[in-house]
Amino acid sequence: MASRPPSARTSSVRTQKTKQPPSGARRAVEKRSGAGWGRWALGGWLLLVLWLSVGYARLPDVSALRTENPRTTALMAQRAEEAYEAGSKPRVRQAWVSLGAVAPHVVDAVLISEDARFYRHEGVDWTEVENSLEQSMREARLGRGASTLTQQLAKNLYLSTDRSLLRKGKELLLARRLEEHLSKPRILALYLNVVEWGPGVYGIEAAAREHFGTSARALSVAQGAMLAAMLPAPRRWLPAQRPETLRTRAGVILGRLEREGRISGAQAREAQAELSRYFGGPPALASDAEALARLPAES
Domain with residue 167: its CATH number is: 1.10.3810.10
Domain that holds residue 175: 62-293
Considering the domain boundaries, does residue 22 fall inside one? no
Considering the domain boundaries, does residue 19 fall inside one? no
Instruction: Note the pLDDT of residue 147.
Output: 87
What is the DSSP secondary structure assignment for residue 94, as one 8-state letter?
E
Note if the pTM is more than 0.95.
no
Q: State the Cα–Cα distance between residues 151 and 186, nearest whole angstrom.
A: 14
Considering the domain boundaries, does residue 80 fall inside one? yes
Count of domains in the chain? 1
Q: In tens digits, what is the pLDDT along the chain, a chain of 299 residues? A: 444 444 444 444 444 444 555 555 555 545 555 556 667 766 665 665 555 555 556 688 999 999 999 999 999 999 999 999 999 999 999 999 999 999 999 999 999 999 999 999 987 777 766 665 565 556 554 444 568 999 999 999 999 877 777 778 889 899 999 999 999 999 999 999 999 999 999 999 999 999 999 999 999 999 999 999 999 999 999 999 999 999 999 999 999 999 999 999 999 999 999 999 999 976 655 444 445 544 434 43
SS3 80: helix
What is the DSSP secondary structure assignment for residue 260, as one 8-state letter?
T
Considering the domain boundaries, does residue 45 fall inside one? no
Considering the domain boundaries, does residue 4 fall inside one? no
For the CA atoms of 198, 203, 208, 211, what is the dihedral angle to 10 degrees?
A: -10
Q: State the Cα–Cα distance between residues 299 and 142, nearest whole angstrom.
A: 13
Considering the domain boundaries, does residue 3 fall inside one? no
Q: Are 109 and 258 in contact (CB under 8 A)?
A: no
> 50: part of which helix (H) or strand (E)?
helix 23-57
Considering the domain boundaries, does residue 186 fall inside one? yes
Considering the domain boundaries, does residue 23 fall inside one? no
CA 32 to chain centre: 43
What angle, 0 to 180 degrees and rounded to 10, lies between the N-to-C axes of helices 23-57 and 165-181? 50
CA 74 to chain centre: 16
∠ Cα 119 105 266 (to 5°) = 125
